[in-house]
Amino acid sequence: MSDRQISILKGSAFVVSDGLGDVTNVLGNPNGLFYRDMRHLSRWQLRLNGRELDVLSAETLEYDEAVFFLVEPTGTIYRNPAMSLIRRRQVADGMREHLELYNHGLSRVEVEISLLFDADFADLFEVKDDLSKTGQVYRQREHHGVTLGYHREDFRRETYIHARDAFFTEESLTFRVALAPRESWSATVVVTVGTARDEPLPQRMHRPEMPVSLEDWLAGAPKVDTDWHELRQVYKRSLVDLAALRFYPESVPDSSLPAAGLPWFMALFGRDSLITSYQAIPFVPELARTTLLALGAHQATEWDDFRDAEPGKILHELRHGELTHFGARPHSPYFGSADSTPLFLVVLDEYERWTGDVATVRQLEGAARAALEWIERFGDPDGDGYIEYQTRNPETGLDNQCWKDSWNSIIHPDGTVASLPRACCEIQGYAYDARVRTARLAREVWRDAALADRLERDAADLRMRFDRDFWLPERGFYALALDGEKKPVPTLTSNIGHLLWSGIVADDRVEPVVAHLGGEQMFSGWGVRTLADGQPAYNPIEYHNGTVWPHDTALIAAGLARYGRRQDANRLAVALLEAANHFAFRLPEAFAGYSRAATRVPVAYPTACSPQAWAAGAPLLLLSVMLGLTPTPSGLTVRPHLPAEVDRLVVRGLPGRWGLADAVAVRD
C-alpha cells in the first residue's frame, strides 16, 4: 500500500504522496507540496526512531484532507505492533499535518518522531522534463521552525515549517516523546508558502478558502434520485471533484472556475475549462460564467510569435511558475489552441440559453466580436474558410493545437505525421456551431440583425464546403484533417463524433458516421476509442491514438442525441458510467482502449490525471443526454429516453432562467 498515490488539493495548492504519506523526489513523478506551479516540498518523510513505519490504511477525506493509519514495524508476523500513529493532513495554500501517537503496550516507551524535509522549488515543467535550477536555494533556522527558500533575480518562493516543542535542523524536525502504557501524544506541524521574502501566505484550513464551501456546493447542487445506485455515486464524485478543482482567478474575484486536472494541469485552460463548463451548465452554471469572464479578460490583443497569440484569440493555458516568469515557457498566457476561440462562443451562447444572463453576454460582446474576427481572419491565414494551425514558436510551442495536442496525434493510418499547417475536422465543426450560436446572440441580445444574417449565411456555406472537402465517400467517414497540402488525412478517429455534437454533419452522412462510432473498431465496450482499432497507428495505450477519453465519449453521446440517435447515445452513456464503477466512481482523464470482451474491466492509463475536470464533467453531460434536457425561453424541456439499465431517473433543483426545475423520468 505504500506504493499507492494519495493526492489532495484545494485552490492553487496540492499534495501528492505515497500511501504512507511520505514524499520522495522521484524523477518525473509529481510528488510533493505544490503551489502555483512550483514544488514547495520535495521531501517529507516520517520516521519513528529513524525507521519507516508500516501502513494499515490510507484514505482521502473529500478532496482537501487525507488520513494515514500507521504502525511501528516489527519485522515479523509473530509480534504485534505496540505503537500506532495517525497522520492527518490538510491542504490550503500550504499544508497542516497533525500527528497522534498511541502506546498500546504494557511498558513505558521513549521514542523520537522525525520529519525529514527538503524543497527543490522545481517548476512543474522542471519536474516533468527533469530540468536543472539556475537560481539560489537557501535555508534559515529560526525559533520553532525553518525557512526553505529560492530566489532568482526578482522571482522568489519560500516554504516555512513550524512546530512547537520540536528540535529543528535545516533538514529535519524531531519530537522526543515519552508515553506511559495506554497513553497518547499529539502535535501539529504547519507548512506555509510564500512568494516574497518572509511573507507567508495566510492559511485558511478551518475557515474555508472557498467562498462556497464543499458542504454549500453540494447542498446547492441539483439532487439525483435513481434506482441505479452507482449513478448516484458517480454524480456525487463528479460534483466533489469539480469542487476540488475550483480556483478563484484574480480577474473575477469571488467566483470559481475549474482547473484542468491534477497534477500537471492545475491552471486556467481555455479548451478544458470551456468544455467542463459546458458539461456543467445545467447543474452549476457559475463555472461557465467565471470561465467566460476570465478568458475574456485574458484574450489576446496583439501578435506575439513566442506565445502564438493573435488579436481576439482565446488562451490555451495560463501558468505562474518560474519558467513562465522568465520566458522559458510561453504560458503566461500561451495561446496555442485553435479551438478555444470558437468554443468560447459556443459556451457563451449555451450559458445564456440556460441562465438568461444577458448582462454577461452584453459585457462580453466586445470579446465575442473579437473572437469572431479571429475565426474569420487570423485563424484562417490562407483564406480558404477553414481554421488551421502551425506554431510560430518551434522551440516550445505546441505542434498540435486541437484537443488531441500530443505531437503525434494527427497522423495518417500508417502512423505518418500529417504535414503542417493542419485543419482538424472537429475545429471546423466548432466554428460552424459558433457562427450559428453567435448569430442568435447578435439578433436577440446585441440587436445586430445584419451580423446575425451574415453569420447564418457563412455557417451554411461552411457546412456545404466542409462536406465537400472532408467527406471520404470510399470510407464512409470524415477525414481527420486537411494537411499542409490541403489533402485529407483518412484516419478513422473519434473526432468525427464531435462533428455530430456541433451539428455540421449533413443528414445523409449521419448513418455511416454513427455506424463507425458504434462499430467494433471504434467502440471498446467502455467508450469510443480516440483512434480506431485495425489501423496500423492504433495503440490502446497511446495517449491520443487508441485510448478512451470520457469527455470525448460524452460529447459524442451528446452529438448522437442531437441527431435523434438516443439509443446509440444511451449505449455510450451506460458504458462510460459502468467504467466509472471500476475507478471508485471517478472517471480518469483517459483509460486504455482494450476491448471490454477481452479485459472484462477497464484498464487504467498510467499517467492519467485524476481528478480531471472534463472527465468529472462527463457524467453531468450524460445525465442531460439521458433526460433530454433543453432550455427554452419559456422553461426547461425534458424529453427522457432511459436506457434499459434505469427505471427511474429524477434530477431536482436544476437552475436556470426559470428558477429551479425538476426533470423526472420514470419507466411505465
Render pLDDT for 588-637 as a digit per residue (tens, 0 to 9). 999 999 999 999 999 999 888 888 999 999 999 999 999 999 999 999 99
Least confident of 160-169, 173-182, 212-221: 212-221
Owner of C-alpha cell 451574415: 454
Q: How far apart are the C-alpha atoms of 316 and 306, rounded to whole Å? A: 13
Contacts 24+ apart (CB under 8 A), 463-470: 463/432, 463/504, 463/506, 465/385, 466/386, 466/425, 466/428, 466/429, 466/432, 466/504, 467/506, 467/509, 469/386, 470/425, 470/428
Cis peptide before 588 (omega within 30 of 0): no
- Ordered by where they begin, the domains of the chain are 6-194 (2.70.98.40), 214-666 (1.50.10.10)
Q: Which of 350, 375, 352, 234 is nearest to 299 (CA)?
A: 375
Query: Counting beta carbons within 10 angstroms of the beta carbon of residue 79, is it exposed (0 to 12), middle (13 to 18) or buried (19 or more)?
Result: exposed
Amino acid (one-letter) located at 587: L
Q: How far apart are the C-alpha atoms of 115 and 579, rounded to whole Å? A: 39
Q: Is the pLDDT of residue 208 over 60?
A: no
116-139: average pLDDT: 87
Mean residue pLDDT across the chain: 93
Q: Is the pLDDT of residue 437 over 90?
A: yes
Helix (H, G, I), strand (E, B) or coil at 594: coil
Q: How confident is the model at residue 39 (pLDDT cuts 50, 70, 90)?
A: very high
Q: Which of 253, 228, 72 is nearest to 580 (CA)?
A: 228
Please list, in sequence order, all residues whose beta carbon lies within 8 angstroms of the beta carbon of residue 616, skipping any fewer than 6 positions away. Answer: 237, 238, 241, 242, 245, 258, 276, 586, 587
3-state helix, strand, coil in the chain (%, to 5): 30, 25, 45
The pLDDT of residue 128 is 74
Q: Mind listing the pLDDT tens digit for each residue in 495-513?
A: 999 999 999 999 999 999 9
Q: Is the dihedral of CA 624, 630, 635, 637 positive or negative?
A: negative
| Contact (CB, 8 A) for 335 and 268 | no
Q: Which of 183, 201, 181 is nearest to 193 (CA)?
A: 201
Q: What is the DSSP letter of 2?
A: T
Please list, in sequence order, all residues whose beta carbon lies within 8 angstroms of the beta carbon of residue 82, skipping any fewer than 6 positions away. Answer: 72, 103, 104, 105, 107, 109
What is the layout of strands, in order, in the sheet containing 109-118?
43-48, 109-118, 172-179, 167-168
Q: Is the pLDDT of residue 445 over 90?
A: yes
Stated as kind and residue range, the H or E segment containing 550 is: helix 550-562
| Contact (CB, 8 A) for 359 and 293 | no
Q: Is the pLDDT of residue 435 over 80?
A: yes
| Contact (CB, 8 A) for 436 and 459 | yes
Joined grid coordinates for residue 375: 475565426
Joined grid coordinates for residue 632: 427554452
* pTM of model > 0.85: yes
Q: How far apart are the C-alpha atoms of 447 and 445, rounded to whole Å? A: 6
222-236: average pLDDT: 96
Q: Is the dihedral of CA 476, 478, 481, 484 positive or negative?
A: positive
Q: Mind listing the pLDDT tens digit for each residue in 559-584?
A: 999 999 999 999 999 999 999 999 99
Distance, C-alpha 449 to centroid of its chain: 38
Looking at the chain, the whole-number percentage of residues with pLDDT higher than 90 is 81
Q: How far apart are the C-alpha atoms of 440 and 451, rounded to whole Å? A: 10
Cα dist. 67→6, 83, 237, 314, 611 in Å? 10, 17, 19, 40, 18
Q: What is the DSSP string of 375-414?
A: IIIIT-TT-SSS--B--S-TTTS-S--SSS-STTSSB-TT
What is the layout of strands, in order, in the sheet containing 223-226?
223-226, 648-656, 659-666
| Contact (CB, 8 A) for 358 and 365 | no
Q: Is the dihedral of CA 240, 290, 550, 32 positive or negative?
A: negative
Q: Which of 232, 459, 224 is nearest to 346 (CA)?
A: 459
Q: Is the pLDDT of residue 29 over 90?
A: no
Q: What is the DSSP letter of 257?
A: E
Stated as kind and residue range, the H or E segment containing 215 is: helix 214-220
| Contact (CB, 8 A) for 240 and 11 | no
Joined grid coordinates for residue 450: 445584419
Owner of C-alpha cell 470579446: 367
The pLDDT of residue 330 is 67
Amino acid (one-letter) located at 86: I
Cα dist. 407→343, 387, 496, 648 in Å? 22, 19, 20, 44
The pLDDT of residue 204 is 57
462-491: average pLDDT: 98
| Contact (CB, 8 A) for 253 and 247 | no
Q: Is the dihedral of CA 450, 456, 460, 466 positive or negative?
A: positive
Q: Is the pLDDT of residue 379 over 80?
A: yes
Rounded (10°) angle between helices 566-581 and 229-244: 70
| Contact (CB, 8 A) for 370 and 434 | no
| Contact (CB, 8 A) for 116 and 172 | yes
Joined grid coordinates for residue 307: 506565445
Q: How far apart are the C-alpha atoms of 208 and 324, rounded to whole Å? A: 30
Joined grid coordinates for residue 562: 442531437
Residue ranges in 245-357 assigned as alpha helix (H): 270-280, 286-297, 322-325, 340-355
Amino acid (one-letter) located at 359: A
Q: Is the pLDDT of residue 1 over 60?
A: no
| Contact (CB, 8 A) for 31 and 84 | no
Q: How confident is the model at residue 153 (pLDDT cuts 50, 70, 90)?
A: very high
Amino acid (one-letter) located at 114: S
Q: What are phi and psi of 71, to 5 degrees?
A: -135, 160
Q: Is the pLDDT of residue 668 over 90?
A: no
